[in-house]
Each structure stands twice: as structure tokens, then as C-alpha cells.
Structure 1
Amino acid sequence: MNTLIIDDEPLAHEVLLHHSRAHADIEIVGQCYNAAEALAFLAKLPVDLILLDIHMPVLSGLDMLKVLLGRPQVVLCTAYQEYALEGFELDATDYLLKPVSAERFAQALDKVRRRAGETAIPVEPVASSHIVIRVDRAYRKIELDKVQCFEAYGNYVKVWLEDTCLLTAATLKYFAETLPSDRFIQVHKSFLVNKDKVVAQDREKVRLAGEKLVKIGNAFRRNLVGLWQ
């Protein structure tokens, strides 16, 4: 579970790093010391879990959550218990008071794992004509004939539609195994395309109806054989 620590106190980082080492499924992929730095980090690398302080300069942890899109699970770590209600209203998984003990940290991670298990398959195939995906905290019905392609994006997948792009917490492998193979083919390790949206093809790439270009991976060239037959 890729995890980001956000706290303006270096000592707090050390405590959380120490506790995290006891949990093999927790990988600390980043450490930020203010909300602005964290938002920039998350724009490049989405994560599964944020360990977040509340009192930070300029932008508080709670204010950061209010503007964060595609929010992962969040465990608030703070010395101030009076913000607990607001934290849970923002859908925080747990609320830890500093100094954070190893036992209490482990309990919070158990909650994180349970919630992750409840949403382990965030995309539900409903019928051959559409799917339902989770976007932020809501579910969206997507007509398959409007999908250009699916693109792997870290721990997420970008769903490219005719006029927009949606981000959902899923894997490309899940889409490849769930969607009808006669309509969607994998052409690259990071791309699954709608066959009906392919308007041009050469050895290196395919062009989709919306003019989006997608590279063809060597291991997937055979999937394009007889594309228009």
C-alpha cells in the first residue's frame, strides 16, 4: 500500500517511519512537510494512503483534504483532538493523537485494510453495454461505446471518453479481464483500447477517433492482427 507522510515536524516523520517498518504491506513512497508540497507530489504520483498532520503552515491538513481530488484513504495524525469530528466528516479512515503509539498505529492500519478490502474491486461490470466505475467517492455509469481507451496511471486508471477523462482506483489488468474481449484489446502494457474507436494504425501506434495516439507495445502487436476484419 503506497503511503505518503505529510507533517511539518521531522520528528513526527521519524515516528511514523519507525511504526511503518513493522508492516510489510506499507511502503512509504514520499514524505512532505507542507500541504503545497504534498499536492504537487500527489499530482504526479497518486497513493493509497496518506498519514496527515492537521496543523501545518499556510494550508492545514483539513483544508488540503477539501481541495484534494481523487482522495485516497487518510489517517489523521495530530496533537489536537478537537478536530476529530471534522476529520471524520471528510471521510478520514482514522484519527490518531500524538504521540502515536505502535499499537494505535497498527489499529488504524487494520481499519485501512478493511476499508480497502471493501472496495478492492472498484469497477463493477453491469451489462455488456456499460460499466460502473468509482470516481472520487461516487459511482458513475459509463457507456462502453463512449470509451476511447483505458490508460494505466500508477495505482489508478484513466478512462478516456469522447470529451473528458475520468480517474478511478483500479488496475488495467482488471479492465482487461472484465471487459468484452471482442470490443477491447490491449495494445500496450499501459493501454487498453476500444476497437471501434481505432481509425488508423501503423507499426508504432494507433490513432483513435478523438485523435488520441496510443503506442503499440511489442508484446501486444499480435492483438491487432485482423483488427478490421
Structure 2
Amino acid sequence: MINALIVDDEPLAHDVILHHLKSHTDINVVGQCFSAAQAMNVLANNEIDLLFLDINMPELTGIDMLKVLAKMPQVIIVSAYQEYALQGFELNVTDYLLKPVSSERFNQALQKIRERYQLKAKATENQAPKRQHIILKVDRGQHKFELDSIHYLEAFGNYVKLWQEQGMTLVSSTLKQLIENLPSDQFIQCHKSFVINRDFVVGLDTEQITLKNGNTIKIGKSFKPRIEGIFERI
């Protein structure tokens, strides 16, 4: 859900924007302000993703307000004056709509908002802390394995051979179950019986993968497309 704030000194302008938003259920209008000062107070105390902003308002214009904001959300300027467009885009507004606004033009602006919002969400997700370990069942107990220490995994019936520098540990899990709990950007299945840690790969040809410790792992025919370009992604 995208939280939006409408800022315009004219009540009719609010009504027009709300009318356009009726078919956009992913936009949640959390407030309506009739001055820049009122809007700045709302922005300081709430998480606002999108600002519908007028330019000509008493006391402080929309452009002047944007210049002093500490944290600026995405902005769609809605104005009857075209001459402020350049200033708006210099302040990195997402779009500039001229009153009266058509539904088609309004929808185009919202599509830009969504695209930027999704890119920001994806970037935030990519910055999430990387998992450091996994806890697996070994014999009758549990053991914590550092992900960066695992060279590769080998299917062994209803068990998995987990290979590290210090040797092999037999884990009570199928390979399929274990794969589902490993980060897919780090661990790649290259054969029905093998999963490799991409951080340990030093060589690759059409038949096998070579790891830092000198071990070679066969590449299954059906898995070859998955590992094409592996070095470009490392």
C-alpha cells in the first residue's frame, strides 16, 4: 500500500484527486492538507510515500516547501501553472500534472510512482542482512553450520553429506528439503545429487565444476542452463 498526502489550498482540487484515485486501491490517502505548513507537520510525523502537491499556496509555495524538506517522498505536482515545471523536475519530482487533469494523464503519473516504489522496495530488500548460518539435525542433536564454511552438499538417500574444509558431516535431511532452507543466491544445484556453494567455485567447463579445494562436481545435463554464466554472477 502506498500512503499518500494531498496538499492544496483549494478544497475542489482535493475532490478531483480523490475522484481520480477511486479506481486505484493501492493508494491510501492518509491525510489532506490545505497549506504547506500543515503538510510539513504531517510529513514530519508520518510515513508518507506519495505527495500530491499544489504550487501556488499562501505563505509558502509548494516549490519552497520541497526545498526545505529533510526527507522527500515521491511527488506529483498538480498545478494550473506550467512555468514551474522545470523547477519541479530539478527537485526530482516524479511527475508534473497541469490542471485540469485527465484520467489518462493521472494514471500515467501513478504508474511512474508504482515503478519507483517497487524499485525502492527491491533495493531495501537487497540490503537485508545476509543469513550467516543454518541449524541442522545431526545424529540425535542439532548443529549450527556457518553457511560460508559449506563447500558443497551431496545427496545420500534420506541424508545429506555436508562437506567443509575439515571434512564431511552426515545431516538428517533430504537434499530437496535442505535446498529449500538455503539462500538461492549462494547455493546452486548443479546435479540431482549435488549443490555447490558458488563462493568456492574456481573453474567451470561443460561437464564439471572445480572448487577451491580441488574437488570436482559433475554437472547434470538438465542443470546446465542454471549454471551458465555463473562466473559473471560471482
Shift of 1:124: 7.0
Q: Structure 2 matches for 1:111-130, cutoff 5 A? A: 111-123=112-124
The alpha-carbon distance between structure 1 residues 70 and 181, as it changes in their structure 2 partners (threshold 3 A), is farther
* Counterpart Cα distance in 1 of 2:45 and 2:25: 24
Q: Structure 2 matches for 1:44-123, cutoff 5 A? A: 44-123=45-124
Across the two proteins, how many residue pairs are aligned to each other?
132
SS in 1 for 2:23: coil
SS in 1 for 2:6: strand
* Counterpart Cα distance in 2 of 1:179 and 1:25: 30
Shift of 1:20: 0.7
Instruction: Give the corresponding residue for 2:25.
Output: 24
The alpha-carbon distance between structure 1 residues 8 and 181, as it changes in their structure 2 partners (threshold 3 A), is farther
Give deviations 1:97-117, integer Å, cap 9, x for gaps: 001121111010011111122
TM-score (structure 1 length as normaliser): 0.55
* Counterpart Cα distance in 2 of 1:123 and 1:17: 30
Q: Which segments of structure 1 move beyond 6 Å, counting only runs of 4 or more?
A: none
The alpha-carbon distance between structure 1 residues 124 and 114, as it changes in their structure 2 partners (threshold 3 A), is closer
Q: Which has the higher contact order (CA 8 A, sep 6+)?
A: 1
Give deviations 1:183-228, integer Å, cap 9, x for gaps: xxxxxxxxxxxxxxxxxxxxxxxxxxxxxxxxxxxxxxxxxxxxxx
Give deviations 1:107-131, integer Å, cap 9, x for gaps: 1001111112222233376xxxxx6
Shift of 1:90: 0.3
* Counterpart Cα distance in 2 of 1:18 and 1:124: 33
Instruction: Give the corresponding residue for 2:10.
Output: 9
* Counterpart Cα distance in 2 of 1:95 and 1:46: 22
Shift of 1:70: 1.5
* Counterpart Cα distance in 2 of 1:29 and 1:61: 19
User: Which amino acid in structure 2 is aligned with residue 10 of structure 1?
Assistant: P
- What's the C-alpha RMSD, in Å, of the aligned pairs? 1.6
Instruction: Give the corresponding residue for 1:35.
Output: 36
Percent identity (aligned): 57
* Counterpart Cα distance in 2 of 1:95 and 1:124: 29
Consecutive unaligned residues of structure 2, counting only runs of 5 or more, are 134-234
SS in 1 for 2:55: coil
TM-score (structure 2 length as normaliser): 0.53
SS in 1 for 2:88: helix
The alpha-carbon distance between structure 1 residues 7 and 181, as it changes in their structure 2 partners (threshold 3 A), is farther
Shift of 1:181: 6.3
Larger radius of gyration: 2
Consecutive unaligned residues of structure 1, counting only runs of 5 or more, are 126-130, 132-174, 183-229
* Counterpart Cα distance in 1 of 2:22 and 2:3: 13
